[in-house]
């Protein structure tokens, strides 16, 4: 089936999509209440969308990251963040957690149950429990939106680049 012929999940089941959007609203509230910066969550949204190969979500979250104050350099180097010393400790652990929850990989290799717990424990040494859990919810929800957009064949949002 060509991408043009794939049904948009958000259009064929709008109530389900609205429920997912509602989860995102709750996650955003949790992020704010926990004191997570918009820049950090957008940086994570971009990285997860890169890992999943979601052009529609990248076209939304790269401009959003810029608006939130993420530098062009950090966005440009994001695919190789492990080797770039420009990221803060909080950004590095957030990106490692995002990769672990998205593709089951950390900076030390493939992740299984104990390795994921290790990444989570290291994250909890950098982030308090409220920030940590809000960040995990943010990672979970961007992964869900990536999969909806990929399954639907959503095109990039070119209006974000006008």
**Nearest Cα to 100, choosing from 132, 147, 63?**
132
Round to whole Å and give the CA distance between 126 and 124.
Answer: 5
Helix (H, G, I), strand (E, B) or coil at 7: coil
Domain extents in the chain: 9-155
Report the alpha-carbon distance of residue 108 to residue 61 in Å, rounded. Answer: 27
What's residue 5's pLDDT? 78
- CA 80 to CA 54: how far, in whole Å? 18
Count of residues in the chain: 162
Cβ-in-10-Å burial (0-12, 13-18, 19+) of 153 comes to middle
CATH architecture for residues 9-155: Up-down Bundle (1.20)
Q: What is the pLDDT along the chain (162 residues), one digit of tens a residue?
A: 455 579 999 999 999 999 999 999 999 999 999 999 999 999 999 999 999 999 999 999 999 999 999 999 999 999 999 999 999 999 999 999 999 999 875 555 556 677 888 999 999 999 999 999 999 999 999 999 999 999 999 999 988 777
State residue 78's pLDDT score.
Answer: 99
How far is it between the farthest Cα atoms of the chain? 47
- pTM strictly above 0.75: yes
């Amino acid at each position: 089936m060509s991408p043009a012929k794939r049904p948009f999940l958000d259009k064929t089941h709008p109530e389900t999509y609205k429920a997912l959007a509602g989860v995102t609203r709750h996650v955003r509230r949790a992020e704010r209440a926990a004191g997570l910066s918009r820049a950090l969550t957008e940086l994570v949204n971009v990285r997860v969308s890169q890992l999943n190969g979601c052009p529609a979500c990248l076209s939304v979250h790269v401009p959003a990251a810029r608006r939130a104050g993420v530098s062009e350099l950090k966005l440009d180097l994001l695919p190789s963040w492990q080797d770039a010393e420009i990221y803060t400790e909080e950004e590095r652990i957030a990106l490692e957690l995002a990769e672990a929850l998205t593709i089951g990989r950390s900076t030390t290799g493939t992740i299984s149950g104990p390795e994921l717990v290790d990444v989570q424990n290291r994250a909890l040494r950098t982030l308090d429990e409220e920030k940590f859990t809000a960040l995990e919810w943010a990672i979970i929800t961007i992964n869900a939106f990536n999969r909806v957009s990929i399954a639907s064949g959503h095109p990039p949002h070119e209006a974000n680049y006008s």
